[in-house]
Every structure is written in C-alpha cells, then in structure tokens.
Amino acid sequence: MTLPAGTDAVRQSLASFRQEREADWKAFEALLARVEKRAPRALSEDELLSLPLLYRSALSSLSVARATSLDSALIAYLEALCLRGYFYLYGARRSLRTRIGDFFLRDWPAAIRDLWREVWTSVALTVTGAIAGYWLVASDKRWYDAIIAPSLAGGRNPDSSTEMLRSVLYGGGDHLLSGFAAYLFTHNTQVSILAFALGFAFAVPSVLIILMNGCMLGALFQVYAAKGLGFELGGWLSIHGTTELFAIAIAGAAGMRIGTSIAFPGELTRMAAAARAGRVAATAMVGVTVMLLLAGLLEGIGRQTITSDVARYSIGGGMLALWISYFYLLRMVRHGDG
C-alpha cells in the first residue's frame, strides 16, 4: 500500500494560494476597519480606489477556497470578510446632508400626500372625539376626571374658579410651566408612537387613541366654555395646538395605514404590503416628531410671552396654513438621480 502521488503537490499549491493572497485580505480588512469607524474622507484617493478591487479579489479568493480548500477556518474568515465588504460597498449610503435635504424637500411631504385618506379620516375622528367629549362633560361633569388624567390636567377641572382658569391662559413667564411643556412634549410623542405602533392590530387601537385624544380636547374646552372662556382657550390652544393636534392625527393615520394594509394587502403578499406601509408610515413618523418638537417650542416660548388672543389665533392659523401648503402644495421637481 503506497500513497497516491500528488498529495504533497496539492498541499503546496494550496499553501501558496493562501500565502500569495493573504496580504490583500489583510489590507482589505484594515481598510474596512477604518471606513467603518470614520467617514470615507479619511482615506486617500488611492486607498479609496483600491477598496472595490480588494473586495473583488477577496470574493474571488472565497470562490477558489470553497472549490478547492477544506480549511473551514479559512473559509469562515473569507466569508465574514466578504460579507463585511458587501455591506459596506453596496450599502449605498448618502451623506447626512443629502439625506436630511431629501427628507424635508421630498420624502416627508410625499409620505403625507400618500397618506391623505388616512390623515383626513384621522382629523375627522379627532373632531368627532372632541364633540363627544364636550357633550359628555356638559351632561355630567364627573366625566371630566375619567377623560383627563389629573397629571395632565395641571389643576384645571370643572370646579376651578374662573380666575384660576384665566391665570393658566395668561400666566406669563412661569418657570414651572417650561418644565411642564417638556413633559407634555414627551407625553405627546409617546402618544403618537403608540398611535402608530398599535395600528398593527388592524388599525383599531389607533382609531381609539385618536378618538380619546379628541375627547380630552372636547372635555377641556367644555370646562372653559362653561365659564365663558371658550374663545380665549381657543387662542391659548391654537398657538401650538394646530401643529400638535395635526401631528397626532398624522401619527394615527400612519398607524391606520399599517393596519389596513395588513388587513387588506391587495395584490401584494401580506408581508410585502406590511413592509411597504411600514416605510411610508415611518417617514411620516419622523415628520411627526419634528412637528411635535416645533409645537413644544411654540408652547414653551410663544404661549407664555404672547398673551393677545388675536396674535395667538393668527400664529396658530398661520402654522396650520403653513403645514397644509407644505404638505400638499410644495412639490419639488427633481431631475437626475432620484
């Protein structure tokens, strides 16, 4: 029994395969480690040009190794290296500035336009909720505590005196209120995220959250209207409220879109319909956060310093007009790479 000739030759050629290419693999690995940590600007022009070449050479090494070598550690190394390279080179990442520019000029208004049916349904639901809330509290004031959590009411309830209610409306630069505004911002954003995320359950929870939000509005309104302060409350609310309520309505609309496209996927598979709706809705949600932040700023700065009803109404109305024209009238025509 003798060994078949050639095992040594095979061993030699595979050893030299690794020896000859190892330097390239190491160079590729080092370059990847650098570009993953810092921006591609950190590389020189030569290094940048060598990146795709090294990637392809690693891929071809992987193919050769899979076909001829039985060293599983080597193959695992090359697979991991190629995967890292693939994710980096085909990640098609744009710079942060173009991403942000695209978002504000194109993606955000387009997402809202795409959601137009859900958005107006959501606005209608808010109005319905508000009427229901007003009517409930008008019929029995105990409903108020059931609708508005005491932590959100800020001491306002049906038993408050007219002076107390008025002082909240025209309170001026009270330090505590700015903390309260920040709390309201996080609360509102949380409500919006819930209205969005819960839409997954066939849109039912989103509808309920939006209705409930309208209810709270109506209940608060009734308390003030009963004391003859309805017009003043409208001004106090509208300075930031038009932005804020519109944002919450959009969040509900995003949730409804997800729920309805899971329930009625149309020609797509349920998974594909969900993935498509999810991406439109997520873009809308980033917009919602921006709107709520703006509403928080208006609330924190504008509401306490601007005490004239007319100015409040005009700022609130102006913001609403601004949002509607931004979403529905601004259509950027872009040429070239889209």
Partner 1 sequence: MATARNPAALIRPLVTPEGVDLRLKLADAGTRASGFLLDVVIVITAAVVVSLVAIFGLGGLGVKDAEPLFIVWIIFIFLLRNVYFIAFEAGRRAATPGKRMVGVRVASRSGAGLTLDQVIARNLMREIEIFLPLSILAARGSAGVADTLSTIFGLVWALLFSLFPLFNRDRLRIGDLLAGTWVVEAPKVALVEDLSLRKDPIAARFQFSAAQLDAYGIAELHKLEEVLRRDDYFAMKAVAETIGRKIGAKIDSVDSKAFLTAYYGELRAHLERKLLLGNRKADKHAR
Q: Which is nearer to partner 1, 62 or 136 (CB)?
A: 62
Helix or strand holding residue 233 (H, E): helix 230-263
Q: Closest approach of Cβ 187 to partner 1, in Å?
A: 10
Q: Which is nearer to partner 1, 99 or 334 (CB)?
A: 99
* C-alpha triplet 290, 296, 300: angle, nearest 5°: 150
Q: Closest approach of Cβ 83 to partner 1, in Å?
A: 5
Is there a contact between 198 and 255 (Cβ–Cβ < 8 Å)? yes
Coil, helix or strand at residue 156: coil
Q: In 3D, which of 214, 241, 224, 233 has the Cα closest to residue 147?
A: 214
Token output for 332: 């950027």
**Percentages (nearest 5) of helix, strand, coil residues in the chain:** 80, 0, 20
Q: Which is nearer to partner 1, 179 or 317 (CB)?
A: 179
With a CB cutoff of 8 Å and minimum separation 6, the contacts of 324 are: none
Q: Closest approach of Cβ 72 to partner 1, in Å?
A: 5
Q: Closest approach of Cβ 70 to partner 1, in Å?
A: 5
Q: Which is nearer to partner 1, 110 or 132 (CB)?
A: 110
Q: Closest approach of Cβ 266 to partner 1, in Å?
A: 17
Q: Closest approach of Cβ 335 to partner 1, in Å?
A: 22
Tokens 């409306």 appear where? Answer: 169
Q: Which is nearer to partner 1, 4 or 155 (CB)?
A: 4
Q: What Rg do the C-alpha atoms of the chain give, in angstroms?
A: 30
The pair phi, psi for residue 263, each rounded to 5°, is: -70, -40
Is there a contact between 277 and 261 (Cβ–Cβ < 8 Å)? yes
Q: Which is nearer to partner 1, 73 or 333 (CB)?
A: 73
